């Protein structure tokens, strides 16, 4: 348990600093609000309408496809690092893995998941 003492100190210190800084800026800082200041921050662009609207379910499909291939990349890196040790067996196993994903992509493609309209 003793080894974690430093973590505890860090948490306490971080918490104190956060509370002190936010409190100080609230106590000392001048406050003169205007319409431009109170508006929603959207990276400098003027907000057009409410953010709480329905958005197309296609986003969801695209996001899912993205995650699938994102994870694929995660699996490819360690394999690439150990390519020589794993040898032919690793190559074949990776090829099978990629093939299954490609079948998924073909399926999604043929079912029109990649078409926006």
Partner 1 sequence: MSNLVSFGYIVPELLLGAMAVILFLLSAMRRRNLLRKTIFPGLAILGLMAALSVLVNRTSGGIFGGDPGCISGCSLFFGLLATDPLADFFRILVISATTICVLISIGSPALPKGRTGEYHGLLLVMCLGMCLLSAANHLLMVYVAMETVSLCSYLLTGWDARKCRSREAGMKYVLFGGVASGVMLFGMSLFYGLFGDLSFQGLHLALQGSGALSGAMGQWAATLSVVFMFAGFGYKIAATPFHMWCPDVYEGAPTPFTALLSVGPKAVGMALILRFFYSIFLFPGSMETVIGASGQIPWLLLIGIVSAVTMTLGNLAALVQNNVKRLLAYSSIAHAGYILMGVTAGGQEGFEAVSLYMAVYLIMNMGAFAVVSLVEKASGSEELQVFRGLGKRAPLVALVMTIFLISLAGLPPTAGFIGKLYLFAALLERGGFWFLMLALVGVTNSVVSLYFYARVLKSMYMEKADTDLPTIPIRNPAAVTATALSFATLFLGLFWQPLATAARWSATLFH
Instruction: Kindly state the smallest distance separating residue 100's Cβ from partner 1, in Å.
Output: 6
Instruction: Kindly state the smallest distance separating residue 53's Cβ from partner 1, in Å.
Output: 22
Decide if 68 contacts 101 (C-beta within 8 A). Answer: yes
Question: What Rg value do the Cα atoms of the chain yield, rounded?
Answer: 26
Specify burial of residue 65 (Cβ count, 10 A radius: 0-12, 13-18, 19+). Answer: middle
Residues 6+ apart with CB under 8 A from 93: 86
Instruction: Kindly state the smallest distance separating residue 10's Cβ from partner 1, in Å.
Output: 20
Q: 89 vs 116, which CB is nearer to partner 1?
A: 89
The span from the CA of 3 to the CA of 96, in Å, is: 45
Q: 21 vs 75, which CB is nearer to partner 1?
A: 75
Handedness of CA 33, 38, 44, 49 (dihedral sign): negative
Q: 1 vs 48, which CB is nearer to partner 1?
A: 1
Instruction: Kindly state the smallest distance separating residue 19's Cβ from partner 1, in Å.
Output: 30
Q: 62 vs 86, which CB is nearer to partner 1?
A: 86
Residues that bind partner 1 (CB under 8 A): 89, 99-100, 103-104, 106-107, 109-111
């Amino acid at each position: 348990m003793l080894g974690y003492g430093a973590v505890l100190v860090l948490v306490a210190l971080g918490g104190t600093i956060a509370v002190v800084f936010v409190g100080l800026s609230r106590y000392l800082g001048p406050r003169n609000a205007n319409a431009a200041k109170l508006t929603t921050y959207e990276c400098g662009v003027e907000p057009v309408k409410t953010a709480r609207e329905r958005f197309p379910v296609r986003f969801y499909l695209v996001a899912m496809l993205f995650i699938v291939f994102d994870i694929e990349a995660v699996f490819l890196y360690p394999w690439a690092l150990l390519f020589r040790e794993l040898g032919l067996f690793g190559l074949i196993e990776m090829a099978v893995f990629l093939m299954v994903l490609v079948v998924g992509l073909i399926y999604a493609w043929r079912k029109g998941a990649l078409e926006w309209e």
